Structure 1
Amino acid sequence: MSKQGSLLAMNAVTIKDVASAAGVSVATASRVLSGHPATSPDSRAKVESAAKELGFMPNAQARSLRSTKTDSIALLISDVRNPYFSDLAHAVEQHARAAGLMTFIGNANEDAAQQDDFLATMLSRRVDGLVIVPQGLNEESNQPSEMMNRVLSSGIPTIFVDRALPSVQVPAITANSAQALDEAVATLQSLGHQNIAFVGGPKHASTALERYSAFETALANNGLHADEALHFVGDFQPASGALAAKWLLENPAKPSAIIVADAPMAIGALRVWRELGVRVGSDLSVITFDEVDAMLIHDPPIATIGHDLSQMGKMAVQALREVMAGQKPEPEELISKFTLRPSVASAKATQVMEGKVRP
């Protein structure tokens, strides 16, 4: 950098400085730096050279006030501690960055009030669009929250990802687990498992409802019957997974296999079973949703139902950009995949649990 550039770098370099160094008017420098086509090649070269020499950085906030665009979006996920959502956030952020968009990321912590706080902040920051994992409907009114309604009526481009809201007409990128669950249940049934437990999520989450409904259908498709005594309702958190682990061992129906609706609950359950000496894959067959690293490095590796989160992130960003361009994209579903791993074994192997850890 020249001496002139070094001195100017001590203070904020303005467009007036660039114009002076380039020997052009401020209006010409402004047109060049904003990408306006009505500039001569000679002027453009002078201004770009001067801007580089001086280390000129456009004021993004001032530019956004002129253009009404901020080149930024906001992503709200359900729980930053959940590896599924951290992987999804990474995917959305990377695909948004590739499209020239900066991403603000918020954490709802599986709580509608925290969701609404973040959405209010993002509206005030005038982001160009929102990608939301919605935290369900109001329990009393069975309607979206007041803040969610404000967002939906504000005109800001919005899509949902991973979850959806019933009767709310917003493009959603979700996953369909029906085929994968059918394959998982068929595999367990072929290995002799008749009593299969299911640890589900909270009723406010569309994913929890979809997964349990698909599980019931899978049981029926394979000649098995759904039993509410084998259904534990959790909250997508490790603590409820730990409670489910003990519930299973005390359950008079004596399930020999279990399907868990998300990775954090599976992690909580696996920790308890390890402490109690239950050998997953020998004493108990375990399948969980979410293809995350924690399930792959467990000993033994855990069978999973999951989908490509990078692809989900890509689809979410693409859908949002379509809405931003005035289009109306259709809802899209990724088809989940069942991956069999050593955590699943023959039902005969689970008989060792009799008299070992069961009451």
Structure 2
Amino acid sequence: MDKKEITIYDIAEEAGVSPATVSRVITKRASVSTAKREAVEGLIRKYKFRPNAMARSLSDTKTKILGLLVADIRNPYYAALAVECEEAANKCGYTVMLCNTLNDDELEDSNLEKMYEQRVDAVIQIGCRVDDLVSDSAYAAHVNRITRTIPFITTGKLDGTDCYRLNIDDVESMKIIFQYLTSLGHRRIALIGGEKRKKSTYDKWQQYIYLMGKNDLTFREDYLQEGDYSEKAGYSCMTRLLELQEIPTAVIAVNDFTAVGALKAAAERGIRVPQDMSLISFDNTFLSEISTPKLTSVDYDYPAFGEKLVEIAVKAIEKKEISREQLITPKLVIRESCTKRQQTHG
């Protein structure tokens, strides 16, 4: 190079890295690979480079972008929440970078790293490994590296990390459902769908068992049917229930997808909902409105949910005081899928 004033852009071009990477090396405020750091430091020494105030402040420049990492946008729960997050972000002057993990751990890691490299101001993660009952230590270590420079907000949990949590109150959700079903006279109540390795499902199962006892109802292991969160799982779980000698009078589905599958299985076997069996679910997505009958479902006020996630992110970015753990209070939306216990079914 000639004797013109050297800039971080010159250093970046010769080193084959971004100006932001040069800034990270200079400020030592974020992790950079050994090879990149050595290349940049070598050029700094070669040109006796002295960064000016603008270069030093580059790493503090906000992109006004929030990273939104979701399990699968095709699921209406994630879709509804993602849309509300984007609308809330826009109101705050932020745009959203959306990535799906698609239940693929490698994709989850690469998308998180991509967001970090794109210098998002914060990451909000909804679903996938943050939902695990037992946290993945390798993923926690990855997130810890990210949180040294940007905030990480999740609707799940990740033990061993310095993240912000906004969780649905699953214990209260199940209480609301039991209060409603028992008020209708139901005593044979089943719970279908979900995986015990996921914390939200585990909490629902534990609360279900507790509330069966508290309401002096007989707990039956065959009334607790594990599956996943799909329509297919709901169909399979309901099929197994309907093969029992004494079928339940009310069924709780772990989400609306599972409930839709359960409705199909019941209809094929001549079981009418709600006349013969009541059905209730969680999430209150658009599926609850378009199913026949319309589903009674637990709602989480998605606009408020999305606004709160973005509020936490923005306050954390601005280094304002904010609670590390907060809860979303659920409410029950009553439609057509539940009725009083029918004497013909006990």
* TM-score range normalised by the length of the shorter chain: 0.7 to 0.9
Q: Residues 143 and 188 of structure 1: is their aligned pair in 2 closer, same or farther, counting only changes over 3 Å?
A: closer
Quick check: 1:144 aligned with 2:136?
A: yes
Instruction: Report the Cα offset of residue 261 of structure 1.
Output: 1.1
Native 8 Å contact 1:176 1:333 kept in 2: yes
2:98 corresponds to 1:105: yes
Change beyond 3 A, Cα 1:188–1:134:
closer
Partners of 1:138 and 1:210 lie apart in 2 by: 11
1:289 pairs, out of 282, 305, 325, with 282
Q: Of residues 231, 241, 246 in structure 1, which corresponds to 2:239? A: 246
For each residue in 1:48-107, what CA deviation from the matched residue of structure 2 results, as whole angstroms up to 9, or x when unmatched? Answer: xxxxxxxxxxxxxx9x96754221111111221211110000010111111111101122
Secondary structure, in 3 states, of the residue corresponding to 1:136?
A: helix
| Mapping for residues 1-359 of structure 1, pairs under 5 Å | 68-136=61-129, 142-154=134-146, 155-166=148-159, 168-330=161-323, 331-348=325-342, 351=345
The alpha carbon displacement at 1:350 in A equals 6.0
- Distance in 2 between residues matched to 1:134 and 1:164, nearest whole Å: 10
Query: What is the aligned-residue RMSD (CA, Å)?
Result: 2.7
Q: Aligned letter for 1:164?
A: K
Normalised TM-score (structure 1) = 0.73
- Report how many residues are paired: 289
Unaligned runs of 5+ in 2: 1-54
Query: Once the 2 structures are TM-superposed, how far is the Cα of residue 251 of structure 1 from its aligned partner?
Result: 2.8
Q: Distance in 2 between matches of 1:275 and 1:190?
A: 29
Kept in 1: contact 2:78–2:126 (CA 8 A): no
| 1:118 Cα offset (Å) | 1.5
CA distance change for structure 1 residues 220 and 160 in 2, over 3 Å: closer, same or farther?
farther
Deviations 1:226-260 (A, max 9, x none): 33221111221222112112112113442121101
1:347 aligns to what SS in structure 2? coil
Letter in structure 1 aligned against 2:141: N
* SS state at 2:128 partner: coil
Q: Which has the larger radius of gyration?
A: 1
What letter matches 1:340 in structure 2?
Answer: I
Partner residue, 1:11? none
- In structure 1, what is the equivalent of residue 30 of structure 2? none
**Counterparts in 2 of 1:213 and 1:123: CA distance versus 1, 3 Å:** same
| Offset from partner CA, 1:6-39 (integer Å, 9 cap, x none) | xxxxxxxxxxxxxxxxxxxxxxxxxxxxxxxxxx
- In 2: Cα distance, 1:81 partner to 1:185 partner: 30
Structure 2: how far apart are the matches of 1:199 and 1:310? 28
Relative to the length of structure 2, the TM-score reads: 0.75
Which deviates further from its counterpart, 88-97 or 103-112? 103-112
Give, in whole Å, the separation in 1 of the partners of 2:160 and 2:142. Answer: 16
Secondary structure, aligned partner of 1:153: helix
Gaps of 5+ in 1: 1-61, 353-359
Distance 1:199 1:312, change over 3 A: same
* Contact 2:278–2:339 (Cα < 8 Å) also in 1: yes
- Identity across the alignment (%): 25
> In 2, distance between residues paired with 1:258 and 1:213?
16
